[in-house]
Amino acid sequence: CCLKHFPGHGSACGDTHKHFVDVTERYCIKKLLPFQALLQKQHPLVTVMTAHIVNRQLDSEGLPATISSKMLEDYLRGDLHYDGLIVSDDLQMLALASHYSLSDRLAMAMNAGCDLLIIGNQLSYDEPMKVIDTMVSLVNNGVVSKSRLIQAANRVSTLKKHIHLINHKEAV
């Protein structure tokens, strides 16, 4: 199960496939209630997908949620006590791609708290090896810490273990 798009797209009046969408003026904290209610259950198969929306009520710097450590680390992980897998929305969507290079998008999303990064290749084609080489370079140059990469890998591994356990139980 993937809850999306954190912290809520309900008040958005635009399309993040095309540009930044700022929900600051229309946003109310009640938009977080579904996330709070579902994450309270601490189900091991629940993941959360980010939104590329700007919400200055949750991040005064105006960063979209996918690249905002205030929204992902401070609020989602801190206040909501979520320790599961955070999945980025597609990093090629123009809300991010028209403002940041591939390298910056990868680094900012990882450093903000995304554990799994989506590159949809629907608007342009980023060769998988280019993406991998860029991520390796970011880690080798200290832009993304090795410990952050390990933390993300551990969350992916934990999710895979839970899926394996459920599949094993169903097979028995």
CB 160 within 8 A of CB 167: no
Q: Token digits for 124? A: 């342009």
Catalytic residue among 59, 89, 90, 115: 89
Across-strand partners of 87?
Answer: 49, 116
Q: How far apart are CA 27 and CA 8, in angstroms?
A: 9
Q: Give the tokens for residue 91.
A: 């990093």
Q: Residues 17, 19, 22, 74: which is the catalytic one?
A: 17
Alpha carbons 58 and 55: distance in angstroms, whole number: 6
Q: Tell me whether residue 133 is one of the annotated catalytic residues.
A: no
Active-site annotation holds for 15: no
- Residues forming the active site: 17, 89
